[in-house]
């Protein structure tokens, strides 16, 4: 049984792909939200797992209503 090729990303590449800073990426890794692997002193992320994190972060329609819903009567 052949194993699929793993496409590895550096932390810099993964942060750029996510549109966040490396520091924020390290926080996500440390909290377990984004899986990462340490090979010696090097940290790598699997491209498929970064893409899965992006998909899981998708906002469902209607989830942000609390941010724009009217908080009271309109002023004239």
| Chunked mean pLDDT (size 10), the chain, 76 residues | 87 98 98 98 98 95 86 58
The Cα 34–Cα 20 span in angstroms is 13
Q: What is the structure's pLDDT at 58?
A: 94
Domain range annotation of the chain: 8-57
């Amino acid at each position: 049984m052949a194993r699929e090729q793993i496409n590895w990303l550096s932390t810099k590449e993964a942060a750029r792909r996510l549109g966040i800073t490396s520091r924020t990426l390290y926080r996500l890794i440390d909290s377990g939200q984004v899986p990462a692997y340490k090979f010696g002193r090097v940290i790598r992320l699997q491209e498929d797992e970064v893409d899965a994190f992006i998909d899981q972060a998708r906002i469902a329609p209607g989830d942000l209503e609390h941010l724009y819903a009217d908080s009271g009567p309109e002023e004239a």
